[in-house]
């Protein structure tokens, strides 16, 4: 068995703003070193909440009620604020969803690219600069020296996302969380960005958690995936198994609703209400069991 980098065990969370309604229901998943793991689900399924829980940036109203998140054996939820900031800053990074808002409009690209290197590697300004130029080269950025001096508004969306990818891999992190990193981009650029993330991941041997609602993206770059519905894991497995032999009716329905290159001409089916009803019943049954136990 491969070594697990990240393991989430029995993670549950509630939304205090919403009358303590559960947003995560007993989620367990693990990510091996070098694995690209897809977190798939509709909006509100809890995929972003899991990502934020790992990064320690849950919004004020969301509270974790049980479970552990372990990174390389250390329980993130048990760490003090400072130790957690240190650990996450150096070992986990984020590729955000919207490259247009994720860069500080008032700071030069070079400064934003070297933040982590200077903060956690203690590099001098000049060394960090050299390293940042190499990183921009790695993400196939043209004219890296000019980009370093530029402000975000001078770059296109695709270029900004490359900058953010370069920044995410700058510290050779153990885990990169990609939060729908292609949603805000043109379809043509999407494909390049996906390939780039995969290439960077392979070169650095990094584990990646890929948050997406797009099964096509999962098929393209993920080794394994977890399918969520209403904050509960519906099915988990290798990408191949999920696509070829889906067990859960929800997975089967989602697969049937997805266009496939290998089955041209096949009609696309909307997810049947009966399947959604089954999923909801499953969630309700889980909640009742939780209440009777509690």
Partner 1 sequence: MLASSLIKRAVMAAVTLFGVAVIVFLLLRVAPGDPIAMMIGPGASAEDIASLRAHYGLDQPFLTQFVIWLAGILHGDLGTSISLHRNVVELLRERLPATLELAIVACAVAVILGGSVAILGTWLRGRGEGAIDAANGIMLAVPDFVWALAFVLVLGVFWQAFPLSGRIDPSIDPHFTTGFYLFESIFTGRFDLTRDILAHMAMPALALALPLAAIIIRILKDALSEAMLQDYVLLARVKGMSELRLIAGEALRNAVGPTLALTGVQFTFLIGGTVIVERIFAYPGIGSMAIDAVINRDLPLIQGLVLVFGALFILINLAIDVAVAALNPRLRHG
Query: Which residues of this chain interact with partner 1, rule CB under 8 A?
Result: 55, 57, 85-86, 88-90, 92-94, 96, 98, 101-107, 115-116, 119-120, 151, 153-154, 164
Say how far apart CA 191 and CA 200 lie, in whole Å: 14
Tell which residue, 167, 152, 57, has the closest CA to residue 118.
167
Q: 39 vs 253, which CB is nearer to partner 1? A: 39
CB 268 to partner 1: min, Å: 33
Supply the angle between the helices 157-169 and 187-204 in degrees, to the nearest 10: 10
Q: 107 vs 142, which CB is nearer to partner 1? A: 107
Say how far apart CA 269 and CA 259 lie, in whole Å: 10
CB 143 to partner 1: min, Å: 17
Q: 22 vs 116, which CB is nearer to partner 1? A: 116
What is the number of alpha carbons within 13 Å of residue 180 lying toward its C-beta? 16
Residues β-bridged to residue 226: 39, 236
CB 292 to partner 1: min, Å: 36
Q: 54 vs 222, which CB is nearer to partner 1? A: 54
Q: 132 vs 227, which CB is nearer to partner 1? A: 132
What is the number of alpha carbons within 13 Å of residue 152 lying toward its C-beta? 19
Give residue 122's region: left, alpha or beta (phi > 0; psi -120 to 50): left
CB 276 to partner 1: min, Å: 32
CB 91 to partner 1: min, Å: 10
């Amino acid at each position: 068995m491969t070594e697990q980098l990240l393991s989430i065990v029995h993670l549950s969370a509630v939304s205090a703003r919403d009358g303590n309604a559960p947003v995560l229901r007993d989620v367990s998943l693990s990510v091996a070193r070098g694995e690209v793991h897809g977190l798939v689900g509709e909006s509100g399924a809890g995929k972003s909440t899991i990502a934020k829980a790992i990064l320690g940036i849950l919004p004020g109203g969301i509270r974790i009620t049980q479970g552990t998140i372990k990174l390389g054996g250390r329980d993130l939820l048990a760490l003090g604020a400072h130790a957690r900031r240190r650990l996450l800053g150096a070992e986990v990074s984020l590729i955000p969803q919207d490259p247009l808002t994720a860069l500080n409009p008032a700071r030069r690209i070079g400064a934003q690219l070297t933040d982590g290197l200077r903060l956690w590697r203690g590099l001098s300004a000049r060394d960090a600069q050299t390293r940042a130029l190499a990183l921009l080269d790695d993400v196939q950025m043209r004219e890296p020296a000019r980009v370093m001096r530029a402000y975000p508004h001078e770059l296109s969306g695709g270029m900004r996302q490359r900058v953010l990818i370069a920044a995410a891999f700058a510290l050779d992190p153990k885990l990169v969380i990609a939060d729908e990193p292609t949603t805000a981009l043109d379809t043509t650029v999407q494909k390049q960005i996906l390939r780039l993330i995969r290439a960077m991941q392979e070169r650095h041997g990094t584990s990646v958690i890929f948050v997406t609602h797009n099964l096509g993206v999962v098929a393209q770059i993920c080794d394994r995936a977890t399918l969520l519905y209403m904050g509960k894991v519906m099915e988990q497995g290798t990408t191949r198994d999920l696509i070829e032999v889906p067990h859960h009716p929800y997975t089967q329905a989602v697969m049937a609703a997805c266009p496939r290159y290998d089955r041209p001409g096949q009609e696309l089916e909307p997810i049947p209400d009966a399947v959604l009803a089954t999923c909801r019943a499953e969630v309700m049954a889980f909640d009742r069991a939780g209440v009777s136990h509690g």
